[in-house]
Amino acid sequence: MLKRTLVFSSPMILSLKNQQLVLAYKDSPDEKQTVPIEDVGVVLLEHQQTSVTLPLLNALAENEVQVVICNDKGMPNAMVQSMNSNNLQGETLRNQIACGEVLKKQLWKQVVEAKIRNQASLLDSVGENGNVLKPFYTNVRSGDVDNREGIAARIYFQHLFGDSFIRNRDEPGINVLLNYGYSILRAATCRAIVSSGLLPAIGIFHHNRSNAYPLADDLMEPFRPFVDGVVYDLAMRGNTELTKDVKGELIRVLYTDTLYEKVKRPLSVGLSMTTASMVKCFSKELSSLSLPAMP
């Protein structure tokens, strides 16, 4: 089932009643609407005067809804997630923790190959020459020890957004749109990881003592070009400010089509397919991840 993403950018009062998310505007609290929690996948809390009850937060966590809290600039800043989301979580976590370096490096190789292939496909789709990236995705070594992912990224962004473009999180314009889109993607990736019984704190490549979600940063990589495509379309239309409408378009990337072995699935569903395949890789049932391709 395709889950809904709810964005609250006005002062709201959010509560729980009969497993329904009850929402009301602060200036008209008696006028209420309800949404079944089972229909929701992501809740994005943007406005700083939004009120949320603790029973609602618990119900959202129990139903594996990813709650994303934004800072006063409207950028995703924190997440709430369930600690008990999968009835096989103990076994899954033991397999994840026991994963050896050889398998981690092989899985990361697959992730990098898929990411660069998708970058090449996006370049082709916007009239650029995706073949400039072919030497990179056809020669990825185990663990990507020679950093083909990083080298390819620099070439890719300059072809996509122009020779003068530099990917820098602290720069305005296109970079801000990318930051926002990637934050939404990261939250959805965390939700899929936790729903599969995996621990997002244990990555296969990314690792940093201050990063609580390295596995999400690993698995979202092949999905990033789907965000890039939305940002490219926005930039071509002259939309490089993070307005409400622009945010809406970036959030809708979760519903864009991804291709899995000639079967199209919405991106949010594709994330679950990828994390489910990782569980099987950790348990030695599979040797390859199920990763998305651009349609």
* DSSP-derived secondary structure for 186-232: HHHHHHHHHHTT--TTS-SS---TT-S-HHHHHHTGGGHHHHHHHHH
Confidence of residue 274 (pLDDT cuts 50, 70, 90): very high
Q: Are strands 263-266 and 257-260 parallel, antiparallel or unpaired?
A: antiparallel
The mean pLDDT value for 95-107 works out to: 95
**pLDDT for residue 283:** 95
25-34, 158-167, 226-235, 246-255: segment of lowest average pLDDT: 25-34
**pLDDT for residue 121:** 98
If you average pLDDT over every residue of the chain, what do you get? Answer: 92
Starting from the edge strand earliest in sequence, which strands make up the sheet with 4-8, in order?
A: 4-8, 40-45, 66-70, 76-80
Encode pLDDT of 110-133 as tens digits. 999 999 999 999 999 999 999 999
**pLDDT for residue 51:** 94
**pLDDT for residue 45:** 93
User: Given a cut of 60, is residue 86 above it in pLDDT?
Assistant: no
Report d(CA 165, CA 3) in Å as an integer: 35
**pLDDT for residue 27:** 86
Task: Report the amino acid identity of residue 49.
Answer: Q
The mean pLDDT value for 267-283 works out to: 96
User: Given a cut of 80, is residue 2 above it in pLDDT?
Assistant: no
**pLDDT for residue 294:** 95
Per-residue tokens: 72:
């006063």
**pLDDT for residue 1:** 64
**pLDDT for residue 272:** 94
The mean pLDDT value for 99-109 works out to: 96
Report d(CA 224, CA 155) in Å as an integer: 15
Pair 280, 102: CB distance under 8 Å: no
User: Given a cut of 80, is residue 82 above it in pLDDT?
Assistant: no
CA atoms within 13 A on the CB side of 95: 18
Closest by CA position to 81, among listed 176, 183, 199, 161: 199
pTM for this predicted structure:
0.88
**pLDDT for residue 72:** 87
The mean pLDDT value for 141-145 works out to: 94
Q: How many CB atoms lie within 10 A of CB 2?
A: 11
Q: Is the dihedral of CA 230, 279, 213, 62 positive or negative?
A: positive
Task: Assign residue 127 a region (left: φ > 0; alpha: ψ between -120 and 50; beta: otherwise).
Answer: left
The mean pLDDT value for 273-280 works out to: 96
The CA radius of gyration of the chain, in Å to the nearest whole number, is 19
> Which range scores top for mean pLDDT: 10-14, 88-92, 123-127?
123-127
